[in-house]
């Protein structure tokens, strides 16, 4: 225990310099989905690889057809398990930039009146702040003890926010080098500000972009209004038709592979004291918008959904333009659960759209990737060990939860490398990830690093 | 007749220099709806006023709270009628700029293989090319004869493409100075390439911009997907609900003030030989999209409609972002006929939207102006005289037609100044006004100028 105490004290004492390192990383504008930021993504990968080499890992950059991977090893620990840690260094776009109170890539510590502090900036919560908790735990172990409790491989991806096109080829090419006893993934949240959590289920997803094309050119709505097909009308109707009046998605067979959650699991979740009023109220809402007859917890954790994430067409500038545009566009994502198959859902969705087109209009589809849902085994010994270590750090029982988001890599680790993953993260629901004013709690960063230090030791026993 | 022949010859001989003048005007980027082009609009007004003074008019700029008016007089012709000519020097935005084959504000003559030519550039067809046909006719009369057949007041507006907010105040302030026997408006089309036309009915319009607001900030669709209201879904549903399955608009009482067109008028239109296949086929379409049971001619001339002219919300950049936006927006315009009242329709539309909002969402409306439909008297003597003059120039019977577009000033002239208007223009359906690659036929410009020279003489008899 005294060795662990030294490591924890080293994390406490080193917090200011750890924050400086994190800020260096946060300043890099590594927006993976926008080709304009390609160099920045490469810079973030370089920064991380250099950092890991300095700590004592053997790290290198692995090129892909998209953004590079960082692959690092710290081996040679006898009679110890081997873990693969995963995080991603890419971040979401900052749109709409005018809604940020401060510059997204100039990170700051903001102290609140209640004495708590947040780390402000794009990527602080998703995922740079999170992945650095693990890096700082490794640094502390090595600097204090000259070694680590486990053999560790680290893999940092740069395409998590843009569909991970290079992930599967990479897992296949480096299969032998990546294989470990199990994976640790730090891209999830705590149950609440005081309660640590391990996520045991994640929704999958499937992204599509559709472009409806009507006339061969933009038209004047005075000349052609009502006679000429308006692609915005067609698109609106299609999007409106996706749900019935009970909020259920009407795609053929959509719910075929959606399981009902066992009563005992629902009962355990019931004990977490989730408040629908607070969850929605925190973002200014009060009416659950999903399937009727399902709780908000079900709507966000265990039920599939379809969300339009973007729509555009026609004149969107100042003033008015009486145009019937030739095209209208939407980006749509489906969250999947149970055994729902992304490819099958994509096919069904495309047929649904095509069936609703007038015969003189056309549609083009663009896939933005997909991955099935993930479910972990509650009885994994590693899960129990990690839960105990988290409880020791936070002095609260660790919650075993489901999450509405998607972390495709977890399914890929299972299918490609045969590895289970422990999903442990220190985000909070109000971190505004993917939104303007993203933040990460200073406590999450500090106690998150301490948590990993404890977990690495716990897993080695 | 020899005087007219001299004037027509002067127009023929002066065509190259007339085109140079038109090009000077087309180069001015007078986009009225976008505040960034305020100076350009003022430049266009200055250019026109200077031009009119050089011809022999007494012209000046009249400031408004928006873009300036040009007001010019050529009086003192004894025993002759007094006409007020109206045109507008402002143009539509060029969005989307990438769809233009050439620079929108660098006008060019493009010769086609069949020997015809087009004048390419934003504003060439709407309305700079058109208004300059009248100016060139005046120039030719004055330079050849030292006078004109009529007393002429000219008024050029700079806000026609942005809802004409200053028009009514201007008409009121300059009521006495603007009053004439009747008005001439050059902002409409020919029936086809060979057949001149006078428009006797125009649809009115009413523009609205709506913003649906749901959550207080953008949300991650993984965390909140399906539980949190998505404003794009709400907007899509509202837009889809505006029409029933027969293409009829379901707003309460929407068709109350919509007259049926008399059989004899429909019969006259039937003789024009309108081809639905060609009209739609020219823009790559084949299925009439409006009310079932109505011909395309009715759909575009005599039936009211609603068109979504723009929609936007969420992430619209490259790649994908799994966001549930806090807001979604649309610009919607209604084309009105008969006695439909824009204010009443606006009120009904707003109630329709509000009735479809979940109680935790809100909507804000922005008016983009409105005007009722216009119907002219077929038996006006001036209409018959102008029709005869047009027939003489084009060697084809002049078509008396309705038009789907809106020219609000015509109603305002009637209501505010008690004047009827003759709507004579030389545009063609394929001029791509309001679209990329706008053009005006060289023939329209040349024979349009000759037409006005004839009409000015005909009206004086």
CATH code of the domain covering residue A310: 3.30.70.360
- The answer to whether residues B109 and B232 belong to one domain is no
Which of A225, A239, A296 is closest, CB to CB, to B305? A225
Question: What's the start-to-end Cα distance of chain A, in Å?
Answer: 13
- A59 and A100 belong to one structural domain: yes
Residue B297 lies in a domain: no
**Chain A partners within 8 Å of B215 (Cβ):** 283-285
Percentage of chain B modeled with pLDDT above 90:
82
Cβ-based contacts under 8 A for chains A and B: 360
**Nearest-CA distance from B435 to chain A in Å?**
5
Q: Do B222 and A406 touch (CB under 8 A)?
A: yes
- Contact between B220 and A320 using a beta-carbon 8 Å cutoff: no
Cis peptide before B142 (omega within 30 of 0): no
Q: What is the ipTM of this complex?
A: 0.77
Does residue A47 lie within any of the structural domains? yes
Residue A123 falls in which region: left (phi positive, over 0), alpha (psi -120 to 50) or beta: left
Q: What does the pLDDT read at residue A216?
A: 95
Task: Supply angle C-alpha A237, A240, A245, rounded to 5.
Answer: 135
Which of B189, B286, B289 is the best substitution to test chain A (most A C-beta atoms within 10 A)? B289
A305: which strand partners?
A: A335
Kindly report the CATH number assigned to the domain that includes residue B161.
3.40.630.10
Question: Counting every residue, how long is chain A?
Answer: 461
Q: How confident is the model at residue B1, as a pLDDT?
A: 54
CA of B232: which chain A residue's CA is closest? A308
How far from the centroid of its chain's Cα atoms is residue A139's Cα? 25
Best of A228, A294, A302 to substitute, by most chain B Cβ atoms within 10 angstroms, is: A228
A403 chain-B contacts, CB cut-off 8 A: 222-223
Domain housing B252: 204-258+304-371
pLDDT of B77: 95
Q: A128 in a domain, yes or no?
A: yes
Residue B385: the pLDDT is 96
- A15 sits in which H/E element: helix A15-26
User: Are both B73 and B51 inside the same structural domain?
Assistant: yes
Which residue in the set B203, B228, B235 is minimally distant from A222, CB to CB?
B203
Q: What's the start-to-end Cα distance of chain B, in Å?
A: 13
Identify the domain boundary among B371, B401, B418. Answer: B371
Q: Quick one: pLDDT band at residue B120, thresholds 50, 70, 90?
A: very high
Residues A238 and A165 in one domain: no
Chain A CB contacts of B360 under 8 Å are 280, 284-287
Residues of chain A with pLDDT under 70: 1
- Test A320 with B237 for CB contact under 8 angstroms: no
Question: Which member of B32, B237, B296 has the closest CB to residue A227?
Answer: B296
Q: How far is B86 from chain A (nearest CA, A)?
A: 19
Compare A204 and B454 and report the one with higher pLDDT: B454
Per-residue model confidence as pLDDT tens digits over B157-185: 999 998 889 999 999 999 999 999 999 99
Q: Tell me, yes or no, whether A193 and A85 share the same domain.
A: yes
The residue among B274, B306, B255, B310 whose CA lies nearest residue B96 is: B310
Question: pLDDT band at residue B326, thresholds of 50, 70 and 90?
Answer: very high
Structure confidence at residue B150 (pLDDT): 97
CA dist., res. B358 & res. B361, Å (int): 6
The whole-angstrom distance between B219's CA and the closest CA on chain A is 6
Pairing of strands A82-88, A151-157: parallel
Q: Do B196 and B171 fall within a single domain?
A: yes
**Separation in Å, CA of A150 to nearest CA in chain B:** 32
Alpha-carbon distance B21 to nearest alpha carbon in chain A (angstroms): 27
Residues of A in contact with B33 (CB under 8 A): 317-321
Q: Which residues of A touch B435 (CB under 8 A)?
A: 217-220, 323
Query: Distance between CA atoms of A132 and A121, rounded to whole angstroms?
Result: 15
Q: What is the mean pLDDT of chain B?
A: 94
Partner residues linked to B197 by β-bridges: B399
Same domain, A48 and A189: yes
CA B198, B201, B203: angle at the middle one, nearest 5? 130
Report residue B371 as tokens: 């005007």
Pick from A232, A289, A309: CB nearest B311: A232
**Which of A161, A236, A360 is opposite residue B236, by nearest beta carbon?**
A236
Chain A positions touching B315 (Cβ under 8 A) are 93, 95, 309-310, 331
Nearest CA in chain A to B336: A222
User: Nearest-CA neighbor of B312 among A329, A333, A289, A213?
Assistant: A329
Q: How far is A95 from chain B (nearest CA, A)?
A: 7
Contacting residues of A for B280, CB less than 8 Å apart: 227-228, 360
Single pTM value for the model = 0.78
Residue A271 included in any domain: no
Q: Crossing angle of helices A442-460/A2-13, nearest 10°? A: 160
Domain assignment of residue B263, yes or no? no
The reply to whether A292 falls in a domain is: no
Nearest-Cα residue of chain B relative to residue A205: B222
Contact indicator for B337, B305 with CB cutoff of 8 Å: no
| pLDDT at residue B255 in the model | 97
B168 and B228 assigned to the same domain = no
| Structure confidence at residue A1 (pLDDT) | 54
User: Which of A339, A371, A403 is the last residue in one of the domains?
Assistant: A371
What does the alpha-carbon distance between residue A231 and residue A221 come to, in Å, rounded to a whole number?
13
Listed residues A371, A388, A417: the one ending a domain: A371
Structural domain count of chain A: 2
Contact list, B218 vs chain A (CB under 8 Å): 96, 99, 434-436
pLDDT classification of B220: cutoffs 50, 70, 90: confident
Span A366-395, pLDDT tens digits: 999 888 998 877 778 999 999 999 999 999
Residues of A with Cβ-Cβ distance to B229 under 8 angstroms: 285, 287, 289
pLDDT of residue B429: 83
Non-local (6+) Cβ contacts of B438 within 8 A are B104, B120, B121, B122, B123, B124, B125, B126, B431, B432
> B308 and B322: one domain?
yes
pLDDT, residue B260, reads 86
CB atoms B243 and A233 under 8 Å: yes
* Phi and psi torsions of A384, nearest 5°: -65, -40
Confidence check: pLDDT of B346 > 90: yes
Q: Rounded to whole angstroms, how far apart are CA atoms B368 and B348?
A: 16
pLDDT of residue A267: 83
Please check whether residue A276 lies inside any domain of the structure: no
Is residue A291 in a domain? no
**For B384-412, how does the pLDDT look when each residue is reduced to its tens digit (9 = 90+)?**
999 999 999 999 989 888 888 778 899 89
**Same domain, residue pair A90 and A143:** yes
* Residues B175 and B249 occupy one common structural domain: no
pLDDT score, position A74: 98
Cβ separation of A34 and B319 shorter than 8 Å?
yes
Per-residue confidence (pLDDT) for residue B285, from 0 to 100: 97
By CB atoms closer than 10 A (0-12, 13-18, 19+), residue A435 is: buried
Residues A194 and A227 in one domain: no
The alpha carbons of chain A give a radius of gyration, in whole angstroms, of 23
């Amino acid at each position: 225990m005294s060795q662990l105490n030294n490591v924890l004290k080293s994390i406490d004492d080193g917090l200011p310099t750890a924050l400086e390192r994190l800020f260096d990383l946060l300043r890099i504008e590594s927006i993976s989905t926008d080709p304009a930021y390609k160099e920045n993504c490469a810079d973030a990968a370089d920064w991380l690889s250099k950092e890991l080499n300095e700590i004592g890992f053997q790290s290198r950059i692995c090129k892909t057809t998209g953004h590079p991977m960082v692959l690092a090893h710290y081996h040679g620990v006898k009679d110890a398990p081997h873990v693969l840690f995963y995080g991603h260094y890419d971040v979401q776009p900052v749109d709409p930039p005018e809604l940020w109170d401060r510059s997204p890539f100039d990170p700051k510590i903001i102290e609140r009146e209640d004495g708590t502090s947040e780390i402000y900036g794009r990527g602080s919560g998703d995922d740079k702040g999170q992945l650095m908790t693990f890096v700082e735990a490794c640094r502390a172990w090595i600097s204090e003890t000259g070694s680590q409790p486990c053999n560790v491989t680290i893999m940092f991806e740069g395409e998590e926010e843009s569909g991970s096109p290079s992930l599967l080829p990479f897992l296949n090419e480096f299969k032998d080098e990546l294989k470990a006893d199990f994976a640790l993934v730090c891209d999830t949240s705590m149950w609440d500000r005081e309660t640590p959590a391990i996520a045991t289920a994640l929704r999958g997803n499937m992204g599509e972009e559709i472009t409806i094309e009507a006339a061969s050119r933009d038209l004047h709505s005075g000349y052609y209004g009502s006679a000429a097909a308006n692609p915005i009308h067609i698109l609106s109707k299609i999007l409106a038709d996706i749900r019935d009046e009970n909020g259920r998605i009407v795609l053929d067979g959509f719910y075929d592979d959606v399981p009902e959650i066992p009563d005992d699991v629902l009962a355990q979740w019931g004990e977490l004291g989730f408040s629908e009023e607070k969850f929605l109220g925190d973002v200014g809402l009060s009416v659950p918008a999903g399937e009727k007859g399902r709780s908000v917890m079900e709507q966000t954790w265990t039920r599939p959904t379809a969300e339009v994430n973007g729509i555009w067409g026609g004149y969107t500038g100042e003033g008015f333009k009486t145009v019937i545009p030739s095209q209208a566009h939407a980006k749509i994502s489906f969250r999947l659960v149970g055994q729902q198959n992304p490819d099958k859902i994509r096919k069904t969705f495309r047929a649904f759209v095509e069936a609703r087109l007038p015969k003189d209009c056309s549609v083009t589809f663009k896939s933005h990737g997909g991955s099935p849902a993930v479910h972990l085994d509650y009885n994994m010994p590693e899960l129990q060990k990690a839960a105990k270590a988290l409880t020791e750090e936070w002095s609260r029982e660790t919650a075993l939860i489901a999450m509405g988001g998607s972390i495709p890599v977890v399914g890929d680790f299972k299918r490609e490398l045969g590895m289970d993953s422990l999903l442990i993260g220190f985000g909070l629901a109000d971190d505004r990830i993917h939104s303007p004013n993203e933040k990460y709690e200073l406590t999450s960063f500090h106690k998150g690093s301490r948590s990993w230090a404890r977990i690495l030791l716990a897993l080695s026993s």
